[in-house]
Structure 1
C-alpha cells in the first residue's frame, strides 16, 4: 500500500515514536480509531505492518514530530529519548510530547524541564496494562503534568484507555507506576515462593493455587479490607488488638526455618524477618503489622544483625 502522509495541520493527526511491542500497540490502536498516524522508529522496518495499514513512515525524527500536534513516544529509557529527540528542537515548538517511557520520578521532572526549554507541552505517563489490552475502555493509563495540556489532548489519550491525570508534578505517573509494579512483583514472589515451599513436599502448584487463590487471597488480602487500613496508614494508627508485630515476627521466623529445612531459597523470607525485627527495635512491637509502613517511610537504615 502507498504510504499516506499526515498533514501537521490536521487536528486528528498523531505521531508515535518507538515501535516496540507497546509502541506498536499504541500505534495500531490509534489507526483502528481512525486517526491520521505518522510513525518513526530507529529500525525503520518495524513500521512496515503499520504502513501497510495506512500509517505514514516519516523519513526523519524531525519530520515525524512536525507531522502532528502531539507525539507519543514509548522508548527503552529516558536516555534513549534524549538521543532520539535532541535533534528536533525546531520541529517541536508549540507541540506536545506525551512520554510513556519507563524511568524514575527524577528523570521525568528533568525531562519536563527539558521540554519547557523547547516551548514544548509535556505529559509524562505510564501504561498500566500489557500491549494486548491497550485501547480497552477499562485499561488505565496514568498521566502527570500541566492540567491544560492533559485537557487539550484528553480525547486522543482516551482512545488508548482510561486516562487518569494525577497532578501537575511530572514525576507522579512514573512514581505510582513503580509503586504498583513493586506491589505486583512482591505478590508474585510471595505466590511463587509459597508454591516452591509446598513443591518441596511434592504438592503441585495447581493444588497450592486452589487454596491460595481460591480462599487465602480473597479472605486474608481482601482489597476492601486493605482499603480500610489505608486510612490508618495516613493517620499512623496501628492498634495491635488482633495481632502484634512480635506475633508476626514469630510467623516470619517459621517461614525462614521451614525454607531452610525444605531446601528452598530463604533470602526473601529472611529479609521480611529482618524488617520485622527492625520495626520491633524501633518501638513497633505491640502494634500490628501495618506499622511496617513507618519503617518503609524512613528510608534505608541499619537492621538487626548488621543487615541493610
Structure 2
C-alpha cells in the first residue's frame, strides 16, 4: 500500500472499492474534504491519478477492507460485489454498498454480509458522476439498513452527496432508486416522442426544449394527486371523468404521430393501460386503479 497521513475525528477514514466514473468521483469528494481514503480497483492503473491526489492505494480488495473506516463498494453489479468481497475478512466491518441492484439482491447481500460478521447498509445513488461533490447539484443517496449504522457514518457519507434514509429494510434504498429512475425513463420516453413530432418542422429545438421543460415541471405535482388516491385522500369521481376524457383523446395522439411519420411505440403501452383501467368493471377508474392494474 502507499502511505497515508493519520486521520482526526473530523476527517474519518473511508475505503472505496471500485473506481469507475462514479467511484472516482466519490473518492475525489472524500479526498477534497480531507478524509484519508483508501482505494482499490481491479485495474490498478485507474488508481494512479487518485494516488497522486493523496489517496492510499491497496494492492488487493482484502488489504483495502483491512485499512479501516466504512467499506464503500461501487462496482458493476451485485455479482461483482460477491466476487470482490468474497475473499476478504468482513468480520466487524461496516459495508456500504452503492452498487446498483434490485431490492431482493440488496436484502440477500445484507444477509450475506451478516453471515460474515459485517454490518451492512445499502445505497442508491440519485446522481451522475459530475454531480458528486457539488453541493448545489441536488445529488443525494438513498440509504437503507440499520438506522444506528447509518447515523454512525452519516457525516462521512454526506460528503459526496446528500443523504436520505429510506428505512431499516435493506431493500428500500434500491427500491426507491429504481422507482425514481423508472419515472425518469418514462419522462425521457415522452420527451423523445415530443421531439420526434416536431423534428421535421420549422420549430426551434432550443425554444421547444424550454416549453417542454416548463410543461413537465408544471405537471410533476400530479404525483401528489396519485399519492392522495393511494391513501384515500381524493375524490375518485373527479378522476373517473378525467380518465374518460383522456381515453377519448387517445386517437388524436395516435393520428398526430401517424401524420408526422412518428412511431407511437413509446406511448401505446400507457394508452392501453388507461383503456384497461376505464373498461375494468371492478377496478377503481382513477390513478389508483392504474397503479393496481400494474401490480397484477
- TM-score, with length taken from structure 1: 0.87
* Offset at residue 16 of structure 1 (A): 0.5
1:226 paired with 2:223, answer yes
What is residue 4 of structure 1 aligned with on the other side?
3
Q: What is the alpha-carbon distance in structure 1 between the residues aligned to residue 29 and residue 224 of structure 2?
A: 33
1:41 paired with 2:41, answer yes
Q: Is the 8 A contact 2:106 2:171 kept in 1?
A: yes
Q: What is the alpha-carbon distance in structure 1 between the residues aligned to residue 40 and residue 216 of structure 2?
A: 44
Q: What is the alpha-carbon distance in structure 1 between the residues aligned to residue 207 and residue 7 of structure 2?
A: 57
2:227 aligns to what SS in structure 1?
helix
What is residue 142 of structure 1 aligned with on the other side?
142
* Offset at residue 280 of structure 1 (A): 1.7
What is residue 94 of structure 2 aligned with on the other side?
96
Equivalent runs, 1:238-277 vs 2, <5 Å:
239-241=236-238, 243-277=241-275
Distance 1:150 1:208, change over 3 A: same
Answer with 281-290 or 19-28: which moved more: 281-290
Distance 1:115 1:218, change over 3 A: closer
Equivalent runs, 1:47-196 vs 2, <5 Å:
47-88=47-88, 90=89, 92-137=90-135, 138-196=138-196
Q: Is the 8 A contact 1:245 1:284 kept in 2?
A: no
* Offset at residue 274 of structure 1 (A): 1.1
Count of residue pairs the alignment pairs up: 292
Q: Is the 8 A contact 2:73 2:99 kept in 1?
A: yes
Q: Is the 8 A contact 1:38 1:55 kept in 2?
A: yes
* Offset at residue 201 of structure 1 (A): 3.5
- TM-score, with length taken from structure 2: 0.90
* Offset at residue 237 of structure 1 (A): 4.5
2:96 aligns to what SS in structure 1?
strand
Q: Is the 8 A contact 2:15 2:71 kept in 1?
A: yes
Answer with 75-84 or 239-248: which moved more: 239-248
Query: Tell me, which stretches of 5 or more residues in structure 2 are unaligned?
Result: none
1:72 aligns to what SS in structure 2?
strand
Q: What is the alpha-carbon distance in structure 2 between the residues aligned to residue 167 and residue 241 of structure 1?
A: 34
* Offset at residue 229 of structure 1 (A): 4.3
Distance 1:250 1:290, change over 3 A: farther
* Offset at residue 70 of structure 1 (A): 1.2
* Offset at residue 169 of structure 1 (A): 0.5
Distance 1:61 1:9, change over 3 A: farther
User: Which string of whole-angstrom CA distances, capped at 9 and with x for unpartnered residues, describes residues 7-60 of structure 1?
Assistant: 799982211100000000110111111111111000000001110111111111
* Offset at residue 150 of structure 1 (A): 0.8
Name the Cα RMSD after superposition.
Answer: 2.5
User: Which string of whole-angstrom CA distances, capped at 9 and with x for unpartnered residues, describes residues 121-166 of structure 1?
Assistant: 1000011111122123443111000111111111211212221111
Moved runs in structure 1, 4+ residues, more than 6 A?
6-11
What is residue 15 of structure 1 aligned with on the other side?
15
Answer with 169-178 or 256-265: which moved more: 256-265
Q: Is the 8 A contact 2:120 2:145 kept in 1?
A: yes
* Offset at residue 277 of structure 1 (A): 1.6
Q: What is the alpha-carbon distance in structure 2 between the residues aligned to residue 205 and residue 226 of structure 1?
A: 27
* Offset at residue 289 of structure 1 (A): 4.9
Answer with 92-101 or 146-155: which moved more: 146-155
Answer with 202-211 or 103-112: which moved more: 202-211
